[in-house]
Every structure is written in structure tokens, then in C-alpha cells.
Structure 1
Amino acid sequence: MHHNQHILKENLSHSETESSEDDQDAPPQMDMSWSTITAPAGSGSGGGTRAGLFRTPISGGVQSATSAHGLPRPALAVRNLMEQARFAHLCTVMSRMHHRREGYPFGSLVDFAPDSTGHPIFSFSPLAIHTRNLLADPRCTLVVQIPGWSGLSNARVTLFGDVYPLPEDQQEWAHKQYIAKHQQGPSQQWGNFYYFRMQNISDIYFIGGFGTVAWVDVKEYETLQPDKIAVDGGEQYLKELNAIFSKPLKKLLSSETEVDDAALISIDSKGTDIRVRQGAQFNIQRISFDEGQSVETLEEAKAALRKLIHKGKVYNLQK
């Protein structure tokens, strides 16, 4: 047995403490479709028509989105998603400690930080049910949703893997990864928490929300560098971009049907995902930057969005 597992196991009380972290996630139904939106090109150098994607849940199957829409390839999309999300659903296997629940999956909501190879690092309390479960059986899945989640037309990924406590000499390193991601340590006193890592990722299942459904190659995922804008462009970038572009985008997207609200919820080098509200209904719209333009910085993102808005009308073909 791993030394740290031994220490933690000795410290765990065997009481049947219930956790408030029990959380259920909707099944990943794939009832959605996409339709194309084109905006006429202005006098810019791009030429041709601009295409975007509009997703909405409907009954029926999924049509495949094409590469024409400037989406990152699935492995990179997952890597970007892992950078931009802060929370996830962790599903562990209930241990023998829990009698009648033994062997059932246990879902809990956790925060995490990816390391440089995209492996998630966690900060767990020794008293949490998921911590006890992992010490008995390291197998788990982690379900990560795009920030600003608003329904089954949104991107999400499931990582299958094995989570172990990090050795004593890596605890400080893990803490630094955490601070970099969350700008703060774990919500409770750091002394009560212990850092774990998904040491092995065995499989990655990605639902991109644009008709993209893929098993992602783990080695490709581990070796890819995420888009710089996705790493840097956390809540602060999106807050700043929304302050400038939320109203113009709302106006742009209202050309065919009235849109009540538009907010950028994620950004990568090729485009941005915008959450569109019409009354009580939310949909996600993908707007691609100009072909051949790779956005890396906040200033480049502002310039690319200004260009798109300057070009004018977006024809929303969703009826």
C-alpha cells in the first residue's frame, strides 16, 4: 500500500458521515442538431461567407459538424475545456465501508486544476466520502462541463482514470498548480486538505455540442499544448470581453429573431462560444474568427471580435 494511502486510511473515521456533495448529472443525451449561420463577408481580406454554428436541443439524431466551422480538433477542445472549467462531477465507487451502497457509483462536485499534461489535480478532505472511496478503489470518472452550462447542447468531457494521493514531496507543487488556476487555495484551511492526482488517464469521451462525439486519444491529449488564450483567458478575460462585446453581439444576433441576452462563455484560438438567451430558453452559438487568424492574446481577441461585428449581419437560420 502507498505510504500516503496508509496514513490517510488510518486517519479516516469509519462513521457513516453523509456528505452534502452528492450530485447528480443529467445523462448525456444527444438530442441536438446544428444549423449554419452565414454572415456576408465585408470588404475584408477573408472573402466568401462566414459560417457559425447554432445549437439547440431537439428530438432526433445528430448531424456531424464539418471542419468548415473552424472548430479545434477534439483533443485540443478537451484540453481547452479542462483549462477553462473550474469544477467537475467526480464519480467514485462506493467502498465496503458504506454497506448497502457498496459498489454503486457516487457522484460529487469537486474543483480541480490540470497540470501541464492535462492530468487533473484535486484537493480532498480526508473526511469526504469520495476520498475514502478512492483510497479503497482509485478507479473513477470525471465529468467536466463548459463554464456557463445551460443544457445538453453544451460541450462536456468524461475522463476515465485512476486517482491517487500525491506523495509528501509533491504536495507543495500541487498547491502551486491550484493557486495558479483558482487564484486561491482550497476553500477550507489548507492543513485539512490533501492533494490527489489522476495519475493514469485510461480513456477520454468528448461531446462537443456541435455534433462532435469522439473518443479522444489519451497520448495526443497529454502531448498537446492548450491554446494560450484558453489558458490565460479565464474569468477575467471573459468578463472584460463581455463588458465590451455583449451588447453589440446581442444586437448582431437579433437581426432575425429577438435575442434578450448574449454572453461569451469560452474562447479559443479559432473562435468563441456565446450563450444566447431568448426568454427562458438558452442556446449556444459558435462564432468563428476569420480563417487563418489565430487568436492568442486579449488584444487579438478584441480585434477579432471587432472585425466580426464590423462585418455586420448574421443570418440565423434556426426557426
Structure 2
Amino acid sequence: MQPTSEFSAPKLAKSLLRRRREGALATLMQSGGAPYCSLVNLASHPDGSPLLLISRLAVHTRNLLADPRVSLMLDERAAGDPLEGARIMLLGTAVEAGADDGPLWRRRYLAAHPAAEGYIDFADFSLFKIETSGLHLVAGFGRILDLAPDRYLTDLRGAEALLDVEASAVAHINADHSGTMKLYATQLLGAAEADWRCTGIDPEGLDLQCGRATLRLDFPDRVENPVALRDMLKRMADIARKAE
């Protein structure tokens, strides 16, 4: 397939980072430095960086504690030939959550993986964020390129007021506006009707999830505070209702 004017490498990379809930993590073995690959669950930081919850009993955790350089592969898991689907290989450094980061990372991870509530507080488990230095995108013939972090991460500067209310906004949306989430999913994103819930909000969009299925609703304009968020959600709901 030839490249088209509608193709956006940054948009595709951002979508994969927001929607994927598992990936292949590559670390370097402590003894000898050989590459070691393992399957991990993940969530996303508000800026799009991957968040991991991993045990110190795992080989990959021991590896990255000794050498934090990692890579992470995410793919679309499209039907048919998997090599025809888009995928990204992310380069970066694994950083463990500190006291200031912990609550946000924990909430974000549990929103994506509710079952982790049963073990997230075990002594051997820790949250890590992959601080990326770049990614390699493969999205079909003529669509292979490298991107710098400023092309696929969300700039959070100026959006502190939005991040401060994200947790309460997500809780309110899921408690009182579940019908609107279904409307977004079915009318704006072409998904089947299901029990879609909001798992995260950032300046560029909203994340939806039902079981293992995930969706990303991009905002047409950047949102940086609670008032702008309320107006945007109403605007998107009006568009969705007109599409019914």
C-alpha cells in the first residue's frame, strides 16, 4: 500500500501507546549482556509513556535494575498476517516510581488492569515508567520511520489543572455518564455497543476500555483545565448524538 496524505506517523504511534495493554519487553541479561525478551502488561502515563508493574522475582526486573536500558515492542494485533499490522519499537530507560509519582502511576495502572488490585501492593512488585529516547515505527510499505519523543508524547506543560482533577473526573464520568461513553464508542469510534468506561484523560484525548478492548478518543483541540474538559466532553457528545 502506498503512503497517503491521511497517514500520520505521530498519530499512529500515539494511538498504539495509549491502546496497547501488553507488549514485548527486552532487557539485557546481568551475566553477559545477552538480550532477554518477555511479555509484560502495561498502561500509559498521561504523557503516553508506558507504565509497567513488575516483580523483583522476574528476570527482566533484575536485569533492568542492573542496567535500565530497555526496548518495548507494541503491535496492533490485526487479523491476518501480523506483519501487515502497524508496530512500534520503543527505546528508553526504565525508571522506578518515587514517592511523588507513585499515586498517579498506581491509579493509571489499575484503571487499565483492575485485576492487579490483588497484588499491586505486594512487597516484591514495583511500578516503572519507560522514559523514551525514540521509537521505530513500521506501518506498511513506505511507512517505516523513526520518531523523536516530542512527536509521540503528549506535552503536559500548562495542563496541571487538568491532571489535578483527572482522577475525580474519570470517577464522575464512569458513575454518571456511562451512556455518553457508549455514545462516543459507537458513534465516534465505530465500536460495538458495550460497557465502555473511561480509564484516563489527558490534554489530547480520552481513553476508553471494555475488558481487554481499548479505544482512543482524540480531542479536536487541546484541553488544559476542568472547564475546557467539560466543554469538550459536551461538544463531543453533541457530535455523537448528531451521528446517531
TM-score by length of 2: 0.62
**1:107 and 2:57 correspond:** no
**Structure 2 counterpart of 1:176:** 107
Aligned with residue 73 of structure 2, among 138, 143, 146: 143
**Structure 2 counterpart of 1:133:** 63
Contact kept in structure 1, 2:77 and 2:85, CA below 8 Å: no
**Consecutive unaligned residues in structure 2, runs of 5 or more:** 157-179, 195-212, 219-234
Q: Return the offset for 1:86.
A: 0.4
Q: Return the offset for 1:120.
A: 1.1
Larger Rg computed on CA atoms = 1
Q: Return the offset for 1:163.
A: 0.3
- CA distance change for structure 1 residues 223 and 171 in 2, over 3 Å: closer, same or farther? closer
Contact kept in structure 2, 1:237 and 1:298, CA below 8 Å: no
**Structure 1 letter corresponding to 2:12:** A
- CA distance change for structure 1 residues 108 and 115 in 2, over 3 Å: closer, same or farther? same
- CA distance change for structure 1 residues 85 and 162 in 2, over 3 Å: closer, same or farther? same
Contact kept in structure 1, 2:70 and 2:92, CA below 8 Å: yes
Q: Matches of 2:141 and 2:155 in 1, distance apart?
A: 22
**Structure 1 counterpart of 2:23:** 88
Contact kept in structure 2, 1:92 and 1:106, CA below 8 Å: yes
Contact kept in structure 2, 1:141 and 1:159, CA below 8 Å: yes
Contact kept in structure 2, 1:117 and 1:222, CA below 8 Å: yes
**Structure 2 letter corresponding to 1:194:** S
- CA distance change for structure 1 residues 123 and 165 in 2, over 3 Å: closer, same or farther? same
**Structure 2 letter corresponding to 1:77:** L
**Structure 2 letter corresponding to 1:300:** A
Q: Deviations over 1:67-100 (max 9, x none)?
A: 1xx33x211211111111100000000112xxxx
**Structure 1 letter corresponding to 2:130:** M
Superposed counterparts of 1:64-83, under 5 Å: 64-67=2-5, 70-71=6-7, 73-83=8-18
Q: Return the offset for 1:126.
A: 0.9
**Structure 2 counterpart of 1:54:** none
TM-score by length of 1: 0.49
Give the structure, 1 or 2, with the largest relative contact order (CA under 8 Å, sep 6 or more): 1
Q: Return the offset for 1:154.
A: 0.4
SS of 1:167's partner is coil
Contact kept in structure 2, 1:84 and 1:266, CA below 8 Å: yes
**Structure 2 counterpart of 1:8:** none
Q: Matches of 2:86 and 2:145 in 1, distance apart?
A: 12
**Structure 2 letter corresponding to 1:104:** A
- CA distance change for structure 1 residues 135 and 265 in 2, over 3 Å: closer, same or farther? closer
SS of 2:61's partner is helix
Q: Deviations over 1:221-276 (max 9, x none)?
A: 22369xxxxxx989x947982369xxxxxxxxxxxxxxxxxxx986766xxxxxxx
- CA distance change for structure 1 residues 267 and 219 in 2, over 3 Å: closer, same or farther? closer
SS of 2:101's partner is helix
Aligned with residue 198 of structure 1, among 127, 130, 136: 130
Contact kept in structure 2, 1:106 and 1:130, CA below 8 Å: yes
**Structure 1 letter corresponding to 2:128:** F
**Consecutive unaligned residues in structure 1, runs of 5 or more:** 1-33, 35-63, 97-101, 226-231, 245-263, 270-294, 307-319
Q: Matches of 2:116 and 2:238 in 1, distance apart?
A: 26
